[in-house]
Amino acid sequence: MDKLSITGGQPLHGRLRVSGAKNSTLPILAGTLLTEEPVLVSNAPHLHDVTTMIELLGCLGAEVVIDEKLNVEVCARSLGQLRAPYELVKTMRASFLVLGPLVAKYGAAEVSLPGGCAIGSRPVDQHLKGLEALGAQVVVTDGYVKAQAPNGLVGTDVYMDLVTVGGTENLMMAAALARGETRLHNCAREPEIVDLGNFLNTLGAEVDGHGTSTIVIQGKDKLHGGAFRVMPDRVEAGTYLIAAAATRGSVRLEDVDPETLGAVLEKLQMAGAEITYGEDWIELDMLGRRPLAVDIETSPYPGFPTDMQAQFMALNAIAEGTATISENIFENRFMHVQEINRLGANIELHGHSMAVVHGMKDLRAAPVMATDLRASSSLVIAALAAEGTTTIDRIYHIDRGYETIEEKLQQLGGAVQRIS
Ligand code: UD1
């Protein structure tokens, strides 16, 4: 099993190109099932989760071709089956996003209940409730969701009880082929939702209001093919900004969308970073200073993202002062705390949703273990800031979400090696 060996204590400096967004690529690839014509998706990151989604499309019978520039062309002309098996869905919760497109296009689907990161129970009740409102019959048996709509879905008002990214995405895709108008209420407003809406419109869908809490969709009889470039990954970008800040370094990110990083950039400025940005670049400079502790409270976009909580905790662990971190999206997303503490941090947990971080001047290397995707990137940041050589075990979690992390950190001067 691969590990990362990181010798910390040196500031990161340099420039990096940000990859395409994993959380945008996955729903977009699922959305290619809505049309029988070829769809070309560019700027998809080279990640394990993306490979899993491509495998799932192939298993359903779609033809997938990947060129040397990693552009992915999907043609879902003749699907052989409408069943997404447990073996593929269990490794990645986003596989569940094929449910909406399959029911909408083919009137039937069987999708295993999802797995994914072990960060709480993460139910799918809102996805199912919404599909039922659109006229699907849904039963859950033997670990599978079986949905049927032999006469097609019918547009209506759907009220989600809570803000869910995946739920909003599944229902947007389903509604794209429903008869008549669908109004989705209490939608997630994440940039990846905007990207998905733009993608669907490229295929001839009529989606309006994506990026606001009410999305209105005029259903179409069919969608056509097209080409779409995935947005930059805001979580990857934020992670490298925080890594540079934690090591008192500087970084210039390119191919990034600063507008999608508002809450993170603000907190980094409060931590003492000098930040400048243009349309598609961001520069951060700590001017050699130790970061200041900053309180964080996660909430749906445009609030501070839960996917950046662990990384900011690592920054607070070596900051001057004490900070409180509240996690309001997932109930079990503090698994990194114990591991960061192994590096000499002083973080106290108060229940499942609050942590108090007493900043330490120095961290020291120690063997640690990655527990989930974003938790593992917080360990990388803490290790880069710590004196000595840290080994991070179980980095397959990192490979789900960060493209060639060791190469990108080496580009910034980080002493990072992958070892097996
Ligand atoms: C997506 C992201 C993930 C991010 C999360 C929140 C992808 C592939 N993943 O995950 O990186 O951390 O958004 O920004 O885009 N919930 C329900 N019922 C449902 C659906 C969700 O109770 O039917 C709850 C979840 O348990 C969780 C909260 O709603 O507590 C938010 O989950 P959701 O927004 O759906 O997250 P994902 O789409 O799974």
- pLDDT tens digits for 204-220? 999 999 999 999 999 99
Q: Is 59 a catalytic residue?
A: no
Nearest-atom index, ligand 1, CA of 49: 8
pTM score, whole prediction: 0.96
Nearest-atom index, ligand 1, CA of 125: 23
- Residue owning the nearest CA to atom 29 of ligand 1: 164
List, chain by chain if needed, residues with CB within 6 Å of any ligand 1 atom.
23, 26, 93-94, 120, 122-127, 162, 164-167, 188, 192, 306-307, 329-330
Residue 154, amino acid: V
Residue located via tokens 């910390």: 8
Contact 416, 409 (CB under 8 A): yes
- Measuring CA to CA, how many Å separate 210 from each of 173, 201, 363? 12, 11, 43
Q: Look at 27-36, 76-85, 188-197 and tell me which has the smallest mean pLDDT.
A: 76-85
- Residue owning the nearest CA to atom 7 of ligand 1: 23
Nearest-atom index, ligand 1, CA of 120: 26
Segment (H or E) for 313 = helix 309-317
Half-sphere exposure for 138 (CA within 13 Å, toward CB) = 23
Q: Cα separation of 149 and 363, whole Å? A: 57
Strand bridging mode 157-159 / 346-350: unpaired
Q: Look at 9-13, 334-338, 345-349 and tell me which has the smallest mean pLDDT.
A: 334-338
- Residue owning the nearest CA to atom 11 of ligand 1: 307
Mean pLDDT of the residues in the chain: 95
User: How many Cβ atoms sit within 10 Å of the Cβ of residue 87?
Assistant: 11
The residue among 260, 275, 317, 276 whose CA lies nearest residue 294 is: 317
Residue located via tokens 């052989």: 80
C-alpha 122 to ligand 1 mean position (Å): 7
Nearest-atom index, ligand 1, CA of 23: 15
pLDDT of residue 118: 47
C-alpha 191 to ligand 1 mean position (Å): 14
Contact 214, 183 (CB under 8 A): yes
Q: What is the DSSP letter of 92?
A: -
The catalytic position among 59, 75, 117, 187 is 117
pLDDT of residue 121: 53
C-alpha 188 to ligand 1 mean position (Å): 10
Q: What is the pLDDT of residues 137-158, one digit of tens each?
A: 999 988 899 999 999 999 999 9
